[in-house]
Amino acid sequence: MNSSEARTILGRVPADEFVDREVESQRIDRLCREKKRFNSVLLGAPRIGKSEILRRTYDRLFAEGGEVFPLYFSFSKASIESGSVAQDYMARYLAQLIAFRRDDPGIIRSAQGSLAAIGSAAAAEDYLWIKELIDLFVCANGSPDAGAAARSALASASASALHAGITPFVMLDNVDLLADPRAALFRSELLRTIADSGASAPGAAPAYLLCGLRRPMVEMLPADEELFDGLELMRVEPLSESSLERLIRQAAANLKVEITDSTAELMIQQLGGDLFYIRSVLGAAAARGSGLRTFMDFERVYTEELLAGRIGHYFDAVLRDLAPDGPSRKAAIELLGLVVETDEAVPLPAVLDRLGVGVEQGRVLLARLHALEMIESGFDSVKAAGDGVLADYVRARRRSQTTAVRPPLAGFELLGEKLKASYKLMMNRYNRAVESQLVEVLSRFDFQSVPASVFDQGVFDQRYRGQSRVQVRRLQEDESERVRLPQIVLVTDLGSGQRQGVSWRLFAARGFEGGIYSEANEVLWLIALANSKEPLDLETLDHMDSLIEAAAATSEIRGTRDRSAKAKEADTSRPAIVRWYVSKEGFSAAASAQASRLPAHRSTYAQLDLLHDHLVKSAGEEPGSHPASEFELVIPIEADSELIAARTVEQIARAADFDQESTNQIKTALIEACINAAEHGESPDRRIHQRFSVSEDRLTITVTNKGNRFAAAANGAGAAVAGSPKRGRGLQIIRALMDEVKFDRTDDGTSLVMVKFLKRPQQEQ
């Protein structure tokens, strides 16, 4: 009867763009097939792809045929408002049932017709009992019992199991809409049906999977022990960055939108991994015939899409729905604007006072925005939900509501703001990656013994300066001085800060030493992670030390266990404190001396990398291998954009085992090359193209200028350019820092090729 060939019936996303949902698919398959029937609730953030998971589950089960009959039903505001939820549910159930039994997905479209017309398409062996179901529903729908139609429609699943020997798997989407008072009868009958199915004998009842906005949906579930006893909560996690990149590249290829590594990364960061936003921007680029090769390309499409495209119309519709009249809609924009402009929670009274619509109406508005996860509303405060796209929309809409502000004659003010923020966003991504690595390292602390040099920059530099990372790893295995790590059970973020030229984040890691879990063996590591272009100076070190010392004194970090007054006075329960400073570029001489006096561990990012490698190896895993052989990056010719290239090549060089000194040389050379290309290239597309190629013994960087030739190619290698002696020196610097430098002429410009060896050929033995 059924074909095993996969068919797209309800799915809306191309199969090659549906990535990294194997865990959810496997769990749903288990729910479908196990003998004990469990009902489940699918929870996840808005626009994370929950509905597509259900639709693809439907397509897969339909194609497989067999005993499991899938039903997908999405509640709609139209049927709730018209009071026809039961009628709509019954029609779609029958159409999908008959389509499944006849292996003809085209029948699903008949759900728009009358029940009699739908039933007439049933197979001969099913016609009589399906007609009986229809007659029973028609009778119930005309009954004075207001809940009879809902009961009859919901009972059809069990009737199908009895008559056809199939097990219905009922997937209900947008269940949160049943919170509407007009759907109260259907909601109560559905919850009763689900509770009864969980208590039924194995195989005798359908299984239900509920999906929708998680906050109102969870609040809708009654505190019923029997209901929760047969209920499984399934959470849909956000896609990883690697999965998002794969999805973006595949979707761009399908839409024939040209995209680069840098714009793909920017899209991931700026759009927050939201699948709707990503597909909207890519679709807008395809509709405009625009590539996304530069930050300018991306930000232009993003801005237009946000203000006048699908994303903008989506938010407009959401606001119209939750705030139908003008004053309440203006209040909603004002509320959102108030919370997105601050990183901290805003007191609830201040929010309600600002809205100007009355306390009761304001609370209703807050509740609706909270349900949609557009804000985080607590008992006494409100804060932003962390959606950067929503924040951009709100800022733009607030400007349009301010009549005193004259609109621009052309273009969008938001475009300029996003361009200025683009490269900062990419730099922040690098900082977050290092912070995540530090947290992972701390989480791996489990009484291991590691080389002491990973915690002492002075010793490390003295012993290993000039060595590759591979060589250092090998030599550290023979170190006699070791540090015994504690076992860390809790890592806490203590906040961040910055001053001119340096930013930092503070952490606390709590655990035990010596393998004995007692107060005497409790230890608290206080860590400061600093990012600066120069070695950390003494003043900044002292400032960070005062911050972490203050953190150590708080009860939240030291613990809240009960103590006697005498113990408090003596502070005998205070855990042993270990300071650890991790600075990207190391420490000045004065800062190093101060760290030694405290005393405190001091490490660079390179030492943090090596510590990570040691912990990975001790866990029986293989340290990370070299990155993929080639990377491409395109940056716009604008102020400070070369810093994005420097950040990128730094990560590539570190992953390829270059030491810190070599990495710094590579970064400096690339910055000089980008500046040269920007100043002398006259590139028609205002872009600098770069390619990074990694092999076992070298890193090759190709910087291509598609305008005039590089300054050195036009004026002689190493010669100063007239009127610009600085740039001539810049090319000399490149030659001094890199092992090989050459120029390759192309039809539309020149490529500067720079090579840095991981181990110089003359050092080979």
Q: What stretch of H or E contains 577? A: strand 576-583
Residue bearing tokens 């002696």? 725
How many of the other CB atoms lie within 10 Å of CB of 71?
Answer: 24
Which segment of 73-87, 211-225, 630-644 scores lowest on mean pLDDT?
630-644
pLDDT at 448: 92
What is the enclosing helix (H) or strand (E) of 97?
A: helix 85-102
Q: For residue 59, which phi and psi values (nearest 5 degrees)? A: -60, -40
Q: Does residue 711 carry a pLDDT above 70?
A: no
Whole-number pLDDT of residue 669: 92
Mean pLDDT along residues 710-737: 57
Residue 668, pLDDT above cutoff 70: yes
Residue type, 334: E
Give the pLDDT of residue 564: 39
For 524, 582, 584, 585, 594, the CA distances from 605, given in Å and listed in that order, are 21, 7, 5, 8, 19
| Amino acid (1-letter code) at residue 192 | R
Give the per-residue pLDDT at 426. 56
Lowest mean pLDDT among 28-32, 59-63, 665-669: 28-32
Q: Residue 288: which pLDDT band, with cuts at 50, 70 and 90? A: very high
Q: Where are the beta strands (DSSP E) in 428-551?
A: 449-451, 482-484, 487-499, 502-512, 522-532
* pLDDT (0 to 100) of residue 91: 95
How high is the pLDDT of residue 541?
92
Contact 84, 270 (CB under 8 A): no
pLDDT band at 341 (very low <50, low <70, confident <90, very high): confident
Q: How far apart are the first and last CA of the chain?
A: 71
Write down the H helix ranges in 402-508: 413-444, 457-464, 469-476
Q: Mean pLDDT over residues 652-672, rounded?
A: 84
Of 172-176, 272-276, 439-443, 530-534, which has the strongest mean pLDDT?
172-176
* Alpha-carbon distances, residue 574 vs 315, 515, 578, 746 (angstroms): 51, 18, 12, 68
Q: What is the pLDDT of residue 761?
A: 40
What does each C-alpha distance from 50 to 236, 266, 750 come to in angstroms?
7, 24, 48
The residues pairing with 587 across neighbouring beta strands, listed in sequence order, are 536
Say if residue 34's pLDDT is above 60. yes
Helix axis angle for 241-255 and 261-270, nearest 10°, is 120
pLDDT at 327 over 70: yes
> pLDDT digits over 372-385, tens only?
999 998 888 898 88
pLDDT over 70 at 717, yes or no:
no
Residue 569 in this model has a pLDDT that exceeds 60: no
683 pLDDT band (50/70/90 cuts)? low
- For Cα atoms 578, 581, 585, give the angle at the middle one, nearest 5 degrees: 165
What the block records as the tokens of 478 is 């023979």
pLDDT bucket at 568, cuts 50 / 70 / 90: very low
pTM of model > 0.85: no
Query: What pLDDT is attached to residue 685?
Result: 67
**Position with higher pLDDT, 411 vs 494:** 494
pLDDT value of residue 511: 92
pLDDT-derived band at 644, boundaries 50, 70, 90: confident
Most confident of 104-113, 132-141, 720-729: 132-141
DSSP string, 206-227: -EEEEES-HHHHHHHS---HHH
Tokens, residue 160: 């199908």
Question: With 50 as the cut, is the pLDDT of residue 321 above it?
Answer: yes
pLDDT band at 708; cut points 50, 70, 90: low
Mean pLDDT score of the chain, rounded to an integer?
A: 83
Confidence at residue 274, expressed as pLDDT on a 0 to 100 scale = 93
- DSSP code for 232: E
pLDDT, one tens digit per residue, over 457-508 is: 999 999 998 787 778 888 998 899 999 999 999 999 888 888 887 889 999 9
pLDDT digits (tens, 9 = 90+) for 200-252: 555 557 889 999 999 999 898 888 777 777 788 899 999 988 899 899 999 99
Q: Which residue has the higher pLDDT, 678 or 690?
A: 690
719 pLDDT higher than 50? no
Report whether pLDDT(255) > 60.
yes
Q: What is the mean pLDDT of residues 252-258?
A: 94
Angle, helices 148-164/85-102, rounded to nearest 10 degrees? 10
Q: Count other Cβ atoms within 10 Å, centred on residue 620.
A: 6
Residue 481, CA distances (Å) to 452, 593, 615 in order: 6, 21, 17
Higher pLDDT, 344 or 763: 344
- Residue 335 has a pLDDT of 87
Q: Compute the distance between CA of residue 422 and CA of residue 506 in angstroms, rounded to an integer.
A: 25
Once rounded to an integer, what is the mean pLDDT over residues 352-365? 82
**Cα–Cα distance for residue pair 228/691, rounded to 1 Å:** 55
Instruction: Please tell me the predicted confidence (pLDDT) of residue 422.
Output: 56
The mean pLDDT value for 708-726 works out to 44
Closest to 728 measured CA to CA, from 740, 737, 719:
719
